[in-house]
Amino acid sequence: MEFTIHHQILGLAFLLAVIMGAVANKTNFCTMGAVSDWVNMGDKGRFRAWLLAIAVALIGVMILEYTGKTTLPTDTFPPYRTGNFAWLRYVLGGFLFGIGMTLGSGCGNKTFVRIGGGNIKSIFVLAIASVAAYWMLWGDIKGEGFYDVVFGSWINPTIVNLSSQELGAIVASMTGGDAASMHFIVGSILAVAVLVYVFKSADFRGNFDNILGGLVVGLVVVAGWYITGGTMGAAWKDYADLSVDIPSRVNVQSFTFISPMGDSVRYLMHPTNFTLLNFGIMAVSGVVVGSFLYSLFTRKFRIEWFASGNDFLTHATGGLLMGFGGVLSMGCTIGQGVTGISTLALGSILTFASIVFGSALTMKVQYYQLDEQGFLVSLRSALADMRLLPRQST
């Protein structure tokens, strides 16, 4: 079989994902865990690691664009810099995903890492989230995806048409400046602000694993953009244009995990159709393999099962919400929270905030329910903790 540029791209996506999976396992890089540490213990170490990954990815992309090594068109996958600012889609999808990743004990990336470490529960979460993502993308409801049938009619009218939702372009349109210059000015200010916040913590500076996790995740995202948006990516696109059997998802892209879950289900339904194997599917499998290899070599591989039927239902619900919410928001904690923000897309920042809010609110509700309070009472107490409702007088 001829080893084409398509195979090279997929192979590199797999290898980069193996590195990400192994390092995420070693450092316990987990965005749900980051929110949990912050909400439940006031520890922002892993949250800073997540922010470090964002800053590294943002700086890396700006360098790639400034030097001309990579070009990010408006039709990347997902379309981060599109002019269609679907604010309600980002907010609702991110909120649902945040709830889902909390109930499912981890976001998409962490689910793959946990599977590699022997967590059987995460296999069920992955299966349910993948089927939900497939329904949203490729479902057979009236021959359309679940999004088109259920969400499109009332979300699409709320879309705001912009020339671009990239922050530099937005600032330029407001000030009359040059969009390209504003991109680097805004990006630099944001990156420096994040790095100052991250490294002003002495505890964080002394934690090797948190620094390593943030650096590697950010650099892997940059590498994804470099591979698909540079000269290799151009050759890949030319190859796809000349192919009789056109490969799936030949776009400028980097690492995201929810849509690839749905793509994986589509491929498993047609396992002999190798054109359905794409960058995202290789990324998913690579993270699992990387985590598994690390667990095996460090003898940390442990089988974990559901503690009860209620535990299963909680994780199953989490998987559904991750699948639906992740596709709705067009990305997850990595896909929007790191990869998307590296493009300075306003929608990615909005999704990031919505995911954090949904996850934090869910954790607080769960905390109050430990005292056997009803859901509505727990929800009110949680919103009061977050200063979104006044506290009830006693």
- Helix-strand-coil percent breakdown of the chain, rounded to 5? 70, 5, 25
Mean pLDDT of the chain: 93
Whether 307 has a pLDDT exceeding 90, the answer reads no
DSSP-derived letter for residue 27 is: H
| pLDDT at residue number 366 | 93
Domain that holds residue 240: 7-385
Local confidence band at 108 (pLDDT 50, 70, 90 cut-offs): confident
Give CA separation, 51 vs 25, 88, 337, in Å.
18, 24, 9
Helix (H, G, I), strand (E, B), or coil: what is residue 304? strand
Local confidence band at 143 (pLDDT 50, 70, 90 cut-offs): low
Number of domains comprising the chain: 1
User: Residue 345: beta bridge partners?
Assistant: 166
| pLDDT at residue number 131 | 94
The identity of residue 316, as a single letter, is A
| pLDDT at residue number 345 | 97
Local confidence band at 38 (pLDDT 50, 70, 90 cut-offs): very high
| pLDDT at residue number 140 | 63
| pLDDT at residue number 144 | 66
Q: Which residues lie closer than 8 Å to 185 by C-beta, 6 or more apart?
A: 168, 171
Asked if residue 391 is part of any domain, the answer here is: no
Q: How many residues does the chain have?
A: 394
Task: Tell which wins on pLDDT, 67 or 143.
Answer: 67
| pLDDT at residue number 228 | 98
HSE toward the beta carbon, residue 210, CA cutoff 13 A:
22
Q: What percent of the chain has pLDDT over 90?
A: 85
Local confidence band at 339 (pLDDT 50, 70, 90 cut-offs): very high
Asked if residue 196 is part of any domain, the answer here is: yes
| pLDDT at residue number 185 | 96
Mean pLDDT in residue range 307-332: 94
In angstroms, the CA 367 to CA 365 distance is: 5
Task: Tell which wins on pLDDT, 148 or 49.
Answer: 49
Asked if residue 394 is part of any domain, the answer here is: no
Residue 36 is encoded by which pair of tokens?
Answer: 């949990």
Q: If we measure between CA atoms, which residue out of 210, 222, 21, 18 comes closest to residue 106?
A: 21
pTM recorded for the entire structure? 0.95
pLDDT tens sequence across 196-224: 999 999 999 999 999 999 999 999 999 99
Mean pLDDT in residue range 161-168: 93
Dihedral, CA of residue 236, residue 240, residue 241 and residue 242, to nearest 10? 100
* Residue 17 contacts residue 170 (beta carbons within 8 Å): no
Q: If we measure between CA atoms, which residue out of 285, 248, 367 comes closest to residue 21?
A: 285
Asked if residue 390 is part of any domain, the answer here is: no
Mean pLDDT in residue range 132-141: 82
Whether 146 has a pLDDT exceeding 90, the answer reads no
Asked which of 21-30, 160-169, 186-195, 300-309 is least confident by mean pLDDT, the reply is: 300-309
pLDDT tens sequence across 270-290: 999 999 999 999 999 999 999
Local confidence band at 85 (pLDDT 50, 70, 90 cut-offs): very high
Whether 394 has a pLDDT exceeding 90, the answer reads no
Cβ count within 10 A of residue 304? 13
Is the sign of the CA dihedral 267, 271, 276, 280 positive or negative?
positive
Q: Which residues lie closer than 8 Å to 70 by C-beta, 6 or more apart?
A: 61, 64, 225, 226, 229, 230, 233, 252
